[in-house]
Amino acid sequence: MRTRRPAVRERVVRALGALRLPRRYGEGPLHLLLMLASFALTGYAGVRLLAGGQWPLVLAWFAGAALLHDLVLLPLYALADRAVVRWTAGSGAHHTRTAYVRVPAALSGLLLLVWFPLIVGSAGGGSAAHYEATTRLPGGVFLTRWLLVTAGLCALSALWLPVRTVQRRLRGAPRRRSETKQRSASGV
């Protein structure tokens, strides 16, 4: 019986060693489980989306969305980001302040991109009526709600910036490397 116990232990240790995914996979087992679940959900949604016989429209929508993003939206928000960076460049902490403009703008833009037909439809288009007929929920509220969410995100970001600034000053946060280099280069 003693000879059998080490063999069982060795098998258990080997099995547990095989569960150590970071060496082979790069992440833990929970990450792998979540990734597999998201792929399963995406596959299910894809099958349901393409099962309606409207797959040519879906493919055209995906191609149009990729072209719209790459040729129109990307240059627009890159220009807007550069304008924000130039506008805040005079201050010493422009990188942190720029993030407080980028995050609400990106979230608001994402919401606009996802709900665009219904937001525009709220102003009098047919998308809201189709949405109401399909879901039995009001469709004319999307423009107002998107504007309220955008205002809320901007207000939250505007309130969070002074809180973080005060926290850094109270903690006596060390200077950033770029600020130290600038001071040493100028001889101060």
**pTM score over 0.75:** no
Q: What is the pLDDT along the chain (188 residues), one digit of tens a residue?
A: 455 566 776 777 666 565 555 566 777 788 889 999 999 999 998 888 887 777 888 888 889 888 988 999 889 888 988 887 887 776 666 666 788 888 898 899 889 888 887 888 755 556 667 777 777 888 778 889 999 999 999 999 999 988 988 888 888 755 555 555 555 555 55
Q: Which helix (H) or strand (E) holds 142?
A: helix 142-171
Q: Is 172 left (phi over 0), alpha (psi -120 to 50) or beta?
A: left
DSSP state of 122: T
CB 60 within 8 A of CB 68: no
